[in-house]
Amino acid sequence: MSPNIIEVNDVSVWFGDFNAVSDLSFSISEGSRVAILGRTGAGKSTLLNLLVGNLEPTSGTVRVAGHDPVRERRELQGLLSMAYQSPRLLPWRTARENVEVGMEILRVPKAERRERAEHWLRMVHLDNAGDRYPAQLSGGMRQRTSLARAFAIGPRLIFLDESFSALDEVTAKGLRADFVTMSEESSVSAVIVTHSIEEAFEIADRVLVFGRPARILGDFDAAEVRRKHGDNFLPFREHIHQMMVDAEKADAEAEAKSLVES
């Protein structure tokens, strides 16, 4: 069994009276692709912020590649990268220069930087668009550039924060396929935050279904699900959807009850 790249132990996060994450514990082994699936407000972004070191838990511990992401922020340099829902490219840099951003910060020599940028642009089918500025690219091409930027530093762990959700279905499907190929070729671990059930089970090895406040409702072997339900995914999709809705209902009822009691 591969060592764990992420370990989350008994983590809770409170924003004042609001409980965003509740006694959350899970681990992710190195080299795996794990989807965090949940509805809006399920604390997925809060979890990402905990993992990348932008937020400290109220209680519990988070370890990423063996480090505390808040206190040992520097030690994680070059180990993590992220692709967001929007491409977030620097508008004054060409696509190639955007792919080079992380490598530049890591002080990769210029020639190597250029070579690696070209490689990752080829991987996302943008080999002829390297000299274009973001304003000259389509939404899908920008998102491809953003993905290439995340892979180009050669990280051990990539986070995708709903990176395909703003794209049309055809573009998103192509990009998801590229992402799987790229992550398999580079043996990178990945945490994919999404609200799309299809997307989660399409690209991940493992799917964690989140309820609100962030806690695990289900932990699925995605390959197994694809094997069992690949031909007829709809009923399984409904099952997952119902699981999230029921959890939300139960939470709402519990909350109303506690309000009445208080």
> Applying CB under 8 A, what is the total number of residues that bind another protein?
54
Nearer to another protein, 70 or 216 (CB): 70
229-258 residues in contact with another protein (CB under 8 A) are 230
From candidates 168, 232, 259, 260, binder to another protein by CB under 8 A:
168
Nearer to another protein, 23 or 198 (CB): 198
Q: What angle do CA 252, 215, 198 make, to 5 degrees?
A: 95
d(CA 71, CA 91): 32
The answer to whether 214 contacts another protein (rule: CB under 8 A) is no
Smallest separation, CB 236 to another protein (Å): 13
Nearer to another protein, 203 or 247 (CB): 203
From candidates 41, 181, 224, 257, binder to another protein by CB under 8 A:
181
Q: Supply 162's token pair.
A: 């709903």
Cβ atoms of 165 and 195 closer than 8 Å = yes
129-148 residues in contact with another protein (CB under 8 A) are 129, 132-141, 144, 146
From candidates 91, 109, 111, 235, binder to another protein by CB under 8 A:
91
d(CA 81, CA 234): 33
Chain residues binding another protein by CB under 8 A are: 52, 73-74, 76-78, 80-82, 84, 86, 88-94, 101-102, 104-106, 125-126, 129, 132-141, 144, 146, 153, 168, 170-171, 173-174, 176-178, 180-181, 201-203, 226, 230
